[in-house]
Structure 1
Amino acid sequence: MSFGFSIGDFLAVIELASKVRKEFAGAPSQFQEISAEIRSLMIILQDVEDDDDISNQELSDEQKRNLGEFTSSCQRVLDDLRKAISKYDTLGSEQHGIKRGKRVWERLRWDASEIRDFRSRITSNIQLLVSFQQQCSSRTINNLARSQEDQDRRVILDWLTPIDYDAQQTDFISRRQPDTGIWFLNSLEYRSWVDTKKQTLFCPGIPGVGKTILSSIVVDDLFSRFKDDNGVGIAYIYCNFRRQSRQTMTDITLSLLKQLAQRRPSLPDAVKNLYKGYGRDGMRPSNYEVSGALETVISSYSRVFVIVDALDECQVSNGTGSKLISGIFNIQQKHETNFLATSRFIPDITASFKGYTTLEIRASKADVEKYVDDHIEELPSFVAGKPGLKDEIIRTISDAADGMFLLAQLYLRSLRSKTTPRKLKTALDDFGKQSGLQTEENKIKILNSAYETAMERINGQEEGFKDLAIRILSWITCAKRPLTTLEIQHALAVEVGDQEIDENNIVDIGLMLSVCAGLVTIDEKSNIIRLVHYTVQEYFERTQDRWFPEAQLSITKVCVAYLSFQWFSGGVQEQIWSNPLYEYVIESLGHHVRASPLCQEVLSFLKSPDPVKVPAEFFMWTSPLHRPSTGQATALHIACYFDLLREIENIVDCDLEVKDSAGETPLAWAIRYGRKRMVRLLVEKGAKIQVPLMFNII
């Protein structure tokens, strides 16, 4: 800029805006609008700074003064935002020797007026800068159009599906041991698959050999190969047994469509038309329409690569896996599509790929040796001073693991507790006896034995640590979907009978990982806390009655206690949704109640007249145009929604005519959601039937 105003001032504000926006990463949804508006502010600041038309003309003193005032105003609102956040900042804190490195967003409870004030101040600055640029630059109209187009694009893509596999890809590739997986990339089968159009490569493997990490290596390799070729499309799916309810055929098709559409220079018309037809009315297109749009977008590429990891973890009950395979094969017949899939050796899945190129995934011995060598520093310090022992550890574990990274990881973890060379050598001898076991059945037995050992270590801890580990494992195992660290921290902090959470009960993340003896990990990108492998989930599903037989009952009591907190009966909507566990409880309560024995806490909750804030999904009006964003209902309404017949049979002296915020009774809800047995029960208990209302609902 040549108008006498320091370029450093502008750059400093742009840098500050970028820092503030990063600090909103992982924030609850109600704060994301602030983050989006900061992004818009950054765009207009950058546009003004880069505008040659402004730099090359002589500005008047008044224009210079105005620009200085605008810059100062931007600086003030951004500084105020940072101050508001910093009051709740725990970055850099350290507990139990482990840095948390996470912002405690659950403690950030701005009220709605404060949020509106910040948004208003940011918007005002944007408008002032836009007005200034309009006066000085002929390029403003194009810039604004580009900004609006970018915003529209983001809205449409988010409408397609909120599912984002990019975070998982980032997390998985970060877990890759450097220089491993090269054998696969250099294999004749893979190179032929990449170089030849319309090819399918099926990659089966036993549990623990690193199929998912290898899938991430493939995705990373393809993006690296074709980064400069806009004619090549790449899309990928990571199937997950914990997300089956959100990985229907329509969900997967929408995700493929979103990934391929967002990598086009401009949003394809096929996607825009879907949004025009359904997005503004709050409705959803059929899978047939989504599939048609997907094929249209695929045809805009010269080539498309589709990678699907863990087909065996797709839904079995509704045939999602087989539908996905046949759907991609159908697309492959019409378009230049390459398909790579990984799976365990499941007969039905294997049969689907009969006649196609198959390459079994099996960690090479060199890869396992490198993995052990890179992690050997985690073992007791005396190992480093004994080169011969170090070599023996690498050789013995790589032989015993027999191509399974998971086994190598478990063997290494078990050696960490060996405090003397003699104890470590004894463990190595035990590992050596397991070398050469080639069948999947034998390896699963070894894994189960390792999990048994881990549980023995957990039960050998002090009572408080043992109890904490059992509660963590029971929540992760029994949850209806993956939980974030904040959600499980709040779940663990709930005390039945309290009126609110005591924040002193919030458990440190590092401690959570420590007490679980290596069975739990955290995906850094998504902040999801999970079991280290799906075989651990399968192990706990088989042994739950031994380790945590009352898990469902305990979770049910926590959910009911959480909804009974005072802030849910009359709090401001933004404050309610800022409570991390609320969304999970409101969507999953019924599932846990049905899975647990009848308990007094649930019966008392159902009789409570206090209203509960519920999301729009509970208000399925016949016309989506009249669906509210939220509302209030009683626990009795929610029980009808979840069809909790057993619980309602056992309550007495409750008001069956209580109304929700839309004026509907529990009976109306039972009718609306087709709970026929519930309707009969409520009528038998004396609920009044309003015939006109009944016909309107039906």
Structure 2
Amino acid sequence: MTDPVTILGTVAGVASLAIQLTQILHDYCKGVSDSGSDVQGLLADTQQLSQVLTKLEDLVRNDSLKLSQSFTTTTTLYLANVRCGARLRSLLADLKKHSQGSQARQALKALKWPFKTRETRNISAELHGYTQTFQFALTLDGCEILLKTSGDVSKILQNSLRSATITEESAENIGLILTIVTPLPEVTLAIQEDVKILIDENILKWLGATDTSAKHQTVKRRRSPNTGQWIFQDKCYKQWENDVSPVLWAQGKPGAGKSTLMSCIVDKLKADAGRGEGVASFYCDYSQTSDVQTPEAILASFSYQLLRRLDSIPVEVDSIYHRHRRENTRPDLNEHVEILKHISTAFSKVWLLIDALDEFDPDCRDDLARVIETLMTFTKVLVTSRPQSIDSENLEGHTLRCTISAQDEDLKVFIESRMATASRGIRESPGWNVFVSDAQEKLVTLADGMFILVSLQLDMLLRLHTVTEMRRALETIPDKLDDFYKITLDRIRAGKSDKPLKILAWLVTSRLPITVGALREALAVEDSTTFIDPNAMIPEDDIVPMCCGLVLIHVDSYTGARKLSLAHATVHEYLSKNLEMVHGFDRIIAKACVRFLDLLDSSTKRELDFDRHPFFFYAILISNSSKCDIGRFVPPVKLRAKLLSDGAHLKTNRGTPFCAGPEVVIQQPRFCTNPGGD
């Protein structure tokens, strides 16, 4: 047992040291106009430590927890006080020797801070650890734990750290306490690593970005082997690569293969980059919603990809993260730039690539141009787009330009690889090889630098069943994109089902991305439908053929769901002007959503299982895009009546508030960020 006076003296002595250090730091910050954020942070940590120690002193003085009966020199709380006191004395000695003399106050104002930036941050972290330890001691359970030996405390807290339900804040605090109270370096390192992994993963999640590698792989799969190599011999590309200019703007007409070439450049840069270089890319996509494609989203994606290559999160990024976590806020555009800049300092060189800028939200392009102006001061930037001007004199003056166009040799390789997918019977026909050679020559001549045109021409030829049919079709094959789309649309119109036209109209009109499962369920809902019938749904394998190749099924790079989209931005542009069904189809979409919800409402007594109905979440967002808090759904009775009437009209990108109606409890969807996820 320890004398109560000794206990009080120990705690009071440490509290006095903390108060002295606080005063010196306060005088320093007051006397030096630009004391720096790190010193200001140290002052805040010291003030907090002083306050907690004062509370602990009061607790000991009152002896309400009977500390005198258990506060021995072997307890963790005693050892923490002794170590904290020794550290404070050391800091005071270092600071006081810089402020001695007859004019101490004047000298203090001109004092050069004796610690380097990293040292100051380490001191702050150390004092913060002591603060958390003593704060923990102020609770009844915490005090009981810290009155045990350090070995026992370490076991108790490490078990808490491994709990599956522990929050990041609790894990971080326990990690700090364990660092203070655990005497064994190897144990301390293991604890710090566990906490670091948890916090680092949370920082990556906090950025709000998803790695775009899925999108990159989708584009890469469309690339024929050994194509695109011409870009690496291009004069402008070489100048950009060799630091003649920080920005390369590669422009090409629609369908020239810009995205495919971008994937080629990304792979080459990553293959050539040493450990000290970072490469990050972002593929803009016209079919994505505007909240996914913002300057902030692009910067967050870059930061996410680069952080994945680092062994640890830069301390500056960690600091920004914790500040926002405390304030429950998100970084703005300037802070995203700051975060990326801090991350870039960890690399010898950083390459940032943005594909299809023309598919980026037009309302945000000026902001993105200003961001690129900043990025070019500390990274290398490559942008691809359709031909367009740069509305920035500063950016224009630091930008090299090159033209992207499908090269003849690449087109020949592409044609040959596609022809190799023809049926074995056709490939064994006597005239096959001659036909392939003739097709290569003609299609390359007609290509006009566009892969998309050649791809569509090959789709048409490969749907035929004999070499004779193919040769006849080759003689009259369309040589303009619009002509090709017209023929394809006419062929779809001539079919017996209107489902393909509805699919196309849905993809053109809808302002939200939709997955395969969601659209299949949506198309099964008609005015006469009395229940949701799985047998009325189009088989997934039939969707692409029935739309004659104008749609694609691919894995969404942001959600991981199987998404349905138009095959190319040019398809969207053509159908927007030439598909009559598009006009007013937003109302048809809205009616389908409300009808679907109506059917669920009438057929479901209690729970709605989202996994069984992939169209459900999409329908919720369309019917009520301003209220997406999934938890309780109020069926829109008045809205339902209004939409199902002949004269009503609802734009799908606006949404309508829910109206009163019976409540239905629903299950939380698996992909909350994915409309219509399946």
TM-score in same-fold range (> 0.5): yes
Deviation at 1:281, TM superposition (A): 6.3
Match of 1:300 among 339, 343, 346: 346
Asked whether 1:631 is paired with 2:675, we answer: no
CA shift in 2, pair 1:529/1:634, >3 Å: closer
Cα offsets for 1:573-613 (capped at 9, x unmatched): 7x346632222222223579xxxxxxxxxxxxxxxxxxxxx
Structure 1 position 646, deviation (Å): 7.0
The equivalent position to 2:277 in structure 1, one of 208, 221, 232, is 232
Q: 1:356/1:308 Cα in 2 relative to 1: closer, same or farther (>3 Å)?
A: same
* Aligned counterpart, 1:588: 622
- Structure 1 residue 532: deviation in Å? 1.2
User: What does 1:80-479 align with in structure 2 at a 5 Å threshold?
Assistant: 146-196=193-243, 199-226=246-273, 228-229=274-275, 231-246=276-291, 247-279=293-325, 283-316=329-362, 318=363, 320-333=364-377, 335=378, 337-348=379-390, 353=396, 356-379=399-422, 381-382=425-426, 384-385=428-429, 386=431, 387-431=433-477, 434=479, 446-461=480-495, 463=496, 466-479=497-510
Match for residue 563 of structure 1?
Answer: 597
Say which of 552, 559, 566 aligns to 1:521.
552
Question: Which stretch of the first structure deviates more once superposed, 409-418 or 341-350?
Answer: 341-350
**Could you tell me whether the CA contact under 8 Å between 1:499 and 1:566 is conserved in 2?**
no
**Residue identity in the other structure for 1:447:** L
Provide the C-alpha distance between the structure 2 equivalents of 1:292 and 1:350, rounded to a whole number of angstroms.
Answer: 21
In 2, Cα distance between equivalents of 1:143 and 1:499 = 61
Could you report, residue by residue, the CA deviation over 1:171-225 in whole angstroms, capped at 9, with x for unpaired residues? 1112111000011123333233223276211100001110001111111111111
Distance in 1 of aligned mates of 2:272 and 2:250: 21
Q: Distance in 2 between matches of 1:494 and 1:554?
A: 11
Cα distance in 2 for residues equivalent to 1:535 and 1:217: 22
Could you tell me whether the CA contact under 8 Å between 1:190 and 1:201 is conserved in 2? yes
Larger Rg: 2
Q: Could you list the runs of 5+ residues in structure 1 that have no partner in the other structure? A: 1-121, 125-137, 435-445, 593-613, 617-628, 649-654, 662-698
Partner-residue secondary structure (3-state), 2:298: helix
In structure 2, C-alpha distance between the alignment counterparts of 1:660 and 1:427, rounded to whole Å: 59
Q: Distance in 2 between matches of 1:123 and 1:637?
A: 45
Alignment-derived partner of residue 103 in structure 1:
none
Equivalent residues of 1:477, 1:541 under 8 A apart = yes
**1:531 equivalenced with 2:566 (yes/no):** yes
Q: What are the superposed Cα offsets for residues 443-471 of structure 1, whole Å, 9 maximum, x if unpaired?
A: xxx1011011111221233x2xx322112
Spell out, residue by residue over 1:420-445, the C-alpha distance to the aligned partner (whole angstroms, 9 max, x if none): 545433332335x95xxxxxxxxxxx
| Shift in alpha-carbon separation, 1:544–1:563, aligned structure 2, 3 A | same
- Mapped to 2, the partners of 1:278 and 1:150 lie a distance apart of 19
Aligned residue identity for 1:544:
L
Q: Which amino acid aligns with 2:236?
A: E
Distance 1:538 1:301, change over 3 A: same
Q: Distance in 1 between matches of 2:526 and 2:186?
A: 59
Change (3 A) 1:591 1:537: farther
In the alignment, what sits opposite 2:68?
Answer: none
Check 1:555–1:198 CA distance in 2 against 1; reply closer, same or farther (3 A cut).
same
CA RMSD of aligned residues (A): 3.7
Cα distance in 2, alignment partners of residues 656 and 293 from structure 1: 43
Alpha carbons of 1:388 and 1:355: their partners in 2 closer, same or farther (altered >3 Å)? same
Whether the 8 Å contact between 2:525 and 2:595 is mirrored in structure 1 is: yes
* C-alpha distance 419-658 of structure 1, shift in aligned 2 (>3 A): closer
1:681 aligned partner: none
Shift of 1:393: 1.1
In structure 1, what residue type is equivalent to 2:213?
D
Residue aligned with 1:203, SS: strand
CA spacing shift, 1:377–1:258, aligned 2, 3 Å: closer
Deviation of 1:562 after TM superposition, in Å, equals 2.2
Q: What is the DSSP-based 3-state SS (H/G/I as helix, E as strand, rest coil) of the residue aligned with 2:226?
A: coil
What's the CA shift string for 1:467-489, capped at 9, x where partnerless? Answer: 22112212221221322222222
* 8 Å Cα contact 1:559/1:589 also seen in 2: yes
SS at match of 1:339: strand
1:265-296 superposed Cα distances (whole Å, 9 cap, x missing partner): 11233433343333466542322322222222
Write the distance in 1 (CA, Å) between the matches of 2:427 and 2:517.
Answer: 38
SS of 2:376's partner is: helix
Q: Deviations over 1:300-338 (max 9, x none)?
A: 32211110111111111x2x22321221222322x2x11
Instruction: Give the distance between the partners of 2:190 and 2:638, measured in 1 at CA.
Output: 50
Q: How has the CA–CA distance of structure 1 residues 507 and 646 changed in structure 2, closer, same or farther, with 3 Å as cutoff?
A: closer
Deviation (angstroms), 1:242: 1.6
Indicate the SS of the match to 1:450: helix
1:551 pairs with 2:551: no
Q: Which moved more, 1:447-456 or 1:248-257?
A: 248-257
The 3-state SS of whatever aligns with 2:287 is helix
8 Å contact kept, 2:247–2:398: no
Q: Contact 2:209 / 2:297 at 8 angstroms: preserved in 1?
A: no
Matched pairs, number:
464
TM-superposition CA deviations, 1:468-516 (whole Å, max 9, x none): 2112212221221322222222222334465653222333221111101
Q: Are residues 282 and 457 of structure 1, via their aligned partners in 2, closer, same or farther at CA, if it must alter by over 3 Å? A: farther
Q: Which whole-Å CA distance do the structure 2 matches of 1:406 and 1:245 have between them? A: 25
Alpha-carbon distance change, 348 to 186 in structure 1, aligned in 2, over 3 angstroms:
closer
Q: Quote how far apart the aligned CAs of 1:634 are.
A: 4.7
For structure 2, list consecutive stretches of 5 or more residues without a partner in the other structure. 1-162, 166-184, 651-657, 665-678
- When structure 1 is superposed on structure 2, of 340-349 and 576-585 the one drifting more is 576-585
5 Å-filtered alignment, 1:657-676, equals none
Give the letter for the 1:529 counterpart.
Answer: L
Distance in 2 (CA, whole Å) between partners of 1:355 and 1:151 is: 41
Secondary structure of the structure 2 residue equivalent to 1:402: coil
Letter in 1 for 2:380: N
For the residues of structure 2 that align with 1:206 and 1:160, how far apart are their CA atoms? Answer: 34
Q: Give the partner amino acid of 1:157.
A: L
Could you tell me whether the CA contact under 8 Å between 1:615 and 1:630 is conserved in 2?
Answer: no
**TM-score using structure 2 length:** 0.61
- Contact 1:475 1:551 (C-alpha < 8 Å) held by counterparts: yes
Instruction: Call closer, same or farther: CA 1:416–1:635 in 2, change over 3 Å.
Output: same
- Change in 2 beyond 3 A, CA 1:197/1:159: farther
